Amino acid sequence: MFKCNLNASHQTFDETVFRLYQFFFLSILLYRDLWKNVTCGYNDKVEYNFEQVKWSKILGLPELEQLTPDEIKKTKKVADNQAKIYSLLMKKYQAFEENPPLVPDNLKANVELLAKTFGLNEAEKSILIFLAVIKLNQFNCLDLFNILKNKKADLITYRELISDFLSTICDCGYETLYKALSKSGALMQNRLVRIDEDPRDFEYYLILDPDLAAKLVYPHQKLHDLLAMSLVKGKESQLTLEDFSYLSPNLPLLVQYLRKARETQKSGINILLYGPPGTGKSELSRAIAQDIGADLFEVPVVDEEGDAVSDRMSCLMFNLSQLKNNPSAILVFDEAQDLFKNFGATPFLATLSAKGNEKQNKGLTNKVLENNQTPVIWITNSIQAMDPAYIRRFDFCLEVPVPPEKQRQKIIENKAGAFLLPAGIHCIAQRNDIAPAVIDRTAKVISTISTSKEEMQKHFFTHLNASLISMGIRPVQLSSRPDDEELYDPALSTADYDLAQVAQGISESLSARLCLYGVPGTGKTAWAHYLGRVLGKRVIVKRCSDLLDCFVGMTEKKIAAAFEEAKTENAILVMDEADSFLQKRSGANYSWEITQVNEMLTQIENFEGIFVATTNALDVMDDACLRRFDLKVKFDYLDAKKSKILFKRYCEKICPESFIDDRILEAVGNLRSLTPGDFATLMHQSRFNPLRTPEALLKGLEKECKTKEGHHHKRPIGFN
């Protein structure tokens, strides 16, 4: 500690602190005779302006005001005045030696509290007291060391100079102080003091937060008051690991690893959970802690007043220090991308100051990842924002995607089952881009409404879609259209293969790559949905709007994600209008058009599930792509027999009481460009434009066929 009186005194607090500041200020002036350079204003020899250095007032020596020269000259008057100045300074210093300045009790007690928490030694405690005292006064006397820098004296480094100076005023040696000012020292590691290795001047070399400096002299301070930090106990999990069973086999392995690491008290345990927002990563961390019987703590993102925590690294170091003797603890650090920023990935976003901070933080962060005694679960929404150099240091990286449909349905039933009908639950569960957290927030809002379940479902969809639109996500449509599934019959599609037999074959192999081609409306996508019903599998339909992206490389990523989604959910993947992605590469004008096709070809070839591509333009598709399909099925216009059967079935649905005249059936059979899609269109149209008679239905079909004339080839005339 300092070479001064550590005992209590009768002096007031302010007097005690100011007298200690006087001692520091005077000691700096006498260090290497810095006082000899003091002038009334700017001293061009040392490039320093002393106008703000009111040393006569600070030291309580009014005589200095008259003795301070305007400039340093080799004259007898300046020499005489400097002799008088030196005499005054030494007399003041001797007074400090006879009656040493005091370290205030509050300051001493608070520094001891930090020392006990973070394991600070005497040198580190001395540095904290020194910085706190000079920070509490208007003039930062560290700035005086710039005189030596400007004189270009043989100074070596900032760190060596400060260590040398402090060794003259405290009981610690140079080597101990030098070590205390290292990046690996407790002051830096615990973010109590920040050190800038390349400051613009000495004032910014050692930085102590002004709030901390002020709090250090307050009486009866507790640790969380000093650092505006506290241990935050994690919430209890509302879920169990069983709710995350879709993360097998990785999750059980992760839990086993964490359990063993806790038993052996292994240090440097770091787990990374990543995935889209709202997929339950925080809830998973709580479920993991609950399963292995650990005490869960969380590094706060906001403080007690709801403001964002500005220095989360300090919070992390504080939490690790507090938990190091708790063998049952696990710490969670959410929004980890804030700490592991990848400045190299987006250099135009990184400011110069951020770049400087990156250099300082990287070594410290790496050390945390290697030496933390408490296991840490890091959570982030995107690893793209993280430096790869950090990612490879994690023991375990687990992706937490949006849950598969079966699990989504269970989550929706648990969180919003009171407000949704079965059809509404099924409709939302079909979407894999709606995170559980969005459902949860919507349910909280709708829970305040008291009305019928049908009305609550309407309100639920209204609020949910408003949230989705604000996030740039396609809204959910609760379809009120007539159900076409019961009217679909593969035998009534005109194809060059037996569609029912193909479906049966796929049900046995559970692997197929099909290309369904032909004119629009002939039932290509409808058959894919029929296949899903036969196999009991979900059908994922991807269209251009789902996959095409304006940024280079993003379309390829979305294509890969679509195949991964189908694999994860064991679903049938349908690529509608596949010609948009698989056009002949020989006609490509841009490189991204080629890479887009290449990505699709690679994914098709490696996909072991059921893939169905539909197209109205087979002739524009790349030859290499066509070779990768196991089966190419052509869909065509309805023949007369199938047209009549479909007409009867739709009449039973639209106008069940009407009689169908043979002349009407004959007219239907004569329509040469009729498709199942035409019937479905009129079925949907009947919601707002009722078709009450078979004649009205026939008239509508004739109009649909006439509309297509000139756009598609007609069915060849012949016997049926």
Please state, in angstroms and rounded to a whole number, the distance separating the CA atoms of residues 364 and 342.
16
Please state, in angstroms and rounded to a whole number, the distance separating the CA atoms of residues 55 and 26.
9
Element (H, E) at 254: helix 250-264
Asked if 436 and 403 count as a contact pair (C-beta separation under 8 A), the reply is yes
CATH class name, domain 232-344+355-399: alpha beta
Please state, in angstroms and rounded to a whole number, the distance separating the CA atoms of residues 203 and 149.
12
Residue 511: what are its φ and ψ, rounded to 5°?
-150, 130
Cα dist from 684 to 342, 405, 423, 483, whole Å: 52, 28, 19, 10
Q: Exposed, middle or buried, 79 (CB in 10 Å: 0-12/13-18/19+)? A: exposed
Instruction: Please state at what angle helix 13-30 crosses helix 122-135, rounded to 10 degrees.
Output: 100
Q: Residue 273 corresponds to which tokens in the numbers above?
A: 């959970």
Pick the CATH number of 490-635 from 1.10.3720.10, 3.40.640.10, 3.40.50.300, 3.90.1170.50: 3.40.50.300
Three-class SS string for 571-618?
Answer: CEEEECCHHHCCECHHHCCCHHHHHHHHHHHHHHHHCCCEEEEEECCH
Q: Exposed, middle or buried, 611 (CB in 10 Å: 0-12/13-18/19+)? A: buried
Length reported for the chain: 720
Please state, in angstroms and rounded to a whole number, the distance separating the CA atoms of residues 133 and 580.
70
Give 364's contacts (C-beta < 8 A, 6+ positions apart): 183, 188, 189, 313
Q: Exposed, middle or buried, 125 (CB in 10 Å: 0-12/13-18/19+)? A: buried
Handedness of CA 684, 690, 691, 693 (dihedral sign): positive
Strand partners, 494: 636
Other CB atoms within a 10 A radius of the CB of residue 256 amount to 11
Q: Exposed, middle or buried, 689 (CB in 10 Å: 0-12/13-18/19+)? A: exposed
Q: Which amino acid is at 295?
A: D
Q: Which amino acid is at 693?
A: T
Handedness of CA 574, 575, 577, 582 (dihedral sign): negative
Which residue, 120, 199, 135, is CA-closest to 360? Answer: 199
Please state, in angstroms and rounded to a whole number, the distance separating the CA atoms of residues 477 and 23.
75
Q: What per-residue confidence (pLDDT) applies to 343?
A: 42
Cα dist from 567 to 451, 533, 601, 628, 637, whole Å: 41, 18, 16, 18, 34
pTM reported for the whole predicted model: 0.63
CA-based radius of gyration for the chain: 39
Q: What per-residue confidence (pLDDT) applies to 344?
A: 45
Where the chain has pLDDT below 50, the residues are 5-11, 343-360, 481-482, 713-715, 718-720
Q: Strand locations in 42-195, DSSP E?
A: 42-43, 48-49, 194-195
Asked if 217 and 136 count as a contact pair (C-beta separation under 8 A), the reply is yes
Q: What is the torsion angle, in degrees rounded to the nearest 10, for the CA atoms of residue 584, residue 590, residue 594 and residue 595? A: -160
Please state, in angstroms and rounded to a whole number, the distance separating the CA atoms of residues 122 and 291.
43
Where b means 16+ CB within 10 Å and e means fewer, 54-74 reads: ebbebbebeebeebbbeebee
Handedness of CA 701, 703, 706, 707 (dihedral sign): negative
DSSP character string of 662-694: HHHHHHHHT-TT--HHHHHHHHHHTTTS---SH
Pairing of β 48-49 and β 42-43? antiparallel
Q: Please tell me the number of Cα atoms within 13 Å of 420 on its side-chain side.
A: 27
Other CB atoms within a 10 A radius of the CB of residue 50 amount to 18
Residue ranges matching CATH 3.40.50.300 in the chain: 232-344+355-399, 490-635
